Amino acid sequence: MPLLGAHESVAGGLHLAFDHIRNVGGDALQIFTRNQRQWKPKPVTEEEQNLFAAAWQEVPSMPIASHASYLINLASGKAELVEKSIAAFADELKRCEVLHIPLVIIHPGSHGGDGVKEGLARFSKNLDKSLELADNQVTVLLETTAGQGTGLGSRFEELSAIIKSSKHPEKLGVCIDTCHIFAAGYDIRSEKSYQTTMAEFDRLVGIERIKFFHLNDSKKGLECRVDRHEHIGQGAIGLSGFANLLNDPRFAKHPMTLETPKGNDLQEDRDNLQTLRSLLKKQTTKSAR
């Protein structure tokens, strides 16, 4: 079955995210390796590395991904912003290397009014620069987006274009966000529409590129192009859409994390994970006897 978990806080120490995810009964984890609102955070210390490694060793099979800073915009046409973004993303890749986190998720950025084609070309070029600066084996996952404003990545064609134009396609994968693809116009609510959406992704990008999922319901309707996360089953996608995904055998071992609203006691994570697990169909096998 899929590995269900959540994005958890690292307040007080990176290693504390493991306490939070175990507290809610999660099997997959997403974190920010540093404050996502800072351009030049401090490097990861040796003590942080050791504490993180020790905490991970208690749940060694747990998949972990980092989410890159929201400040980064590799598709920008502004030279200063691009320079800062390239450096910041390279630093993120380096932090993940020292922490042994294999996956980094990034939004494809915003073209700022210059057009999709221009924005995609800039993103690919600047992403390559970051990868070459970091010079490591961390895999970058392009996150699907809702398509708000001048944001890139809401169409599968755009993700395909980035991968095809990159000099390092072997280092690239995709993170599917359920709220985002729904807001962008890809329906997953019925079995038929779900299969159509996944067939379209496979045709344009390749199902094998999907390495991670964000499980979020949507406060707004299909093709609203508005990114507003809702608790599982309480939004416009509904339980059937998540059941379609969770029971797709192609993703039976994939990490899937919540990014839904929550308070300090994390009860919402527990409730959402319980809801998701209730949608998993029991796998029946014939008895050998």
What pLDDT does 37 receive?
A: 86
- Has residue 144 been placed in a domain? yes
Average pLDDT over residues 272-284: 87
CATH of the domain at 204: 3.20.20.150
283: pLDDT strictly greater than 70:
no
Q: Read off the pLDDT of residues 230-251 as tens digits, 9 standing for 90 and up.
A: 999 999 999 999 999 999 999 9
Per-residue confidence at 79, pLDDT binned at 50, 70, 90? very high
Q: What angle do CA 132, 135, 140 make, to 5 degrees?
A: 80
Of the candidates 232, 269, 234, which has an alpha carbon nearest to the alpha carbon of residue 9? Answer: 269
285: pLDDT strictly greater than 50:
no
- Has residue 149 been placed in a domain? yes
| Whole-number Å distance between alpha carbons of 227 and 197 | 19
88: pLDDT strictly greater than 90:
yes
Q: What angle do CA 154, 95, 142 make, to 5 degrees?
A: 15
Q: Read off the pLDDT of residues 17-36 as tens digits, 9 standing for 90 and up.
A: 999 999 999 999 999 999 98
284: pLDDT strictly greater than 50:
no
What pLDDT does 239 receive?
A: 98
- Has residue 15 been placed in a domain? yes
Three-state secondary structure of the chain: CCEEEEECCCCCCCCHHHHHHHHCCCCCEEECCCCCCCCCCCCCCHHHHHHHHHHHHCCCCCCEEEECCCCCCCCCCCHHHHHHHHHHHHHHHHHHHHHCCCEEEECCCECCCCCHHHHHHHHHHHHHHHHHHHCCCCEEEEECCCCCCCECCCCHHHHHHHHHHCCCHHHEEEEEEHHHHHHCCCCCCCHHHHHHHHHHHHHHCCHHHEEEEEECEECCCCCCCCCCEECCCCCCCHHHHHHHHHCCHHHCCCEEEECCCCCCCCHHHHHHHHHHHHCCCCCCCCCCC
Q: Read off the pLDDT of residues 125-153 as tens digits, 9 standing for 90 and up.
A: 999 999 999 999 999 999 999 999 999 99
Average pLDDT over residues 262-288: 83
Average pLDDT over residues 192-202: 98
Least confident of 39-43, 154-158, 268-272: 39-43
Per-residue confidence at 289, pLDDT binned at 50, 70, 90? very low
Average pLDDT over residues 183-194: 98
Between 284 and 206, where is the model more confident?
A: 206
Share of the chain above pLDDT 90, in %: 95
Model confidence, pTM:
0.96
* Other Cβ atoms within 10 Å of 40 Cβ, number: 10
Catalytic sites, residue numbers: 37, 67, 70, 107, 143, 177, 180, 214, 227, 229, 259
Average pLDDT score over the chain: 96
- Has residue 284 been placed in a domain? no
Q: Note down the domain range covering 129.
A: 3-278
Average pLDDT over residues 206-231: 98
Number of domain units in the chain:
1
- Has residue 285 been placed in a domain? no
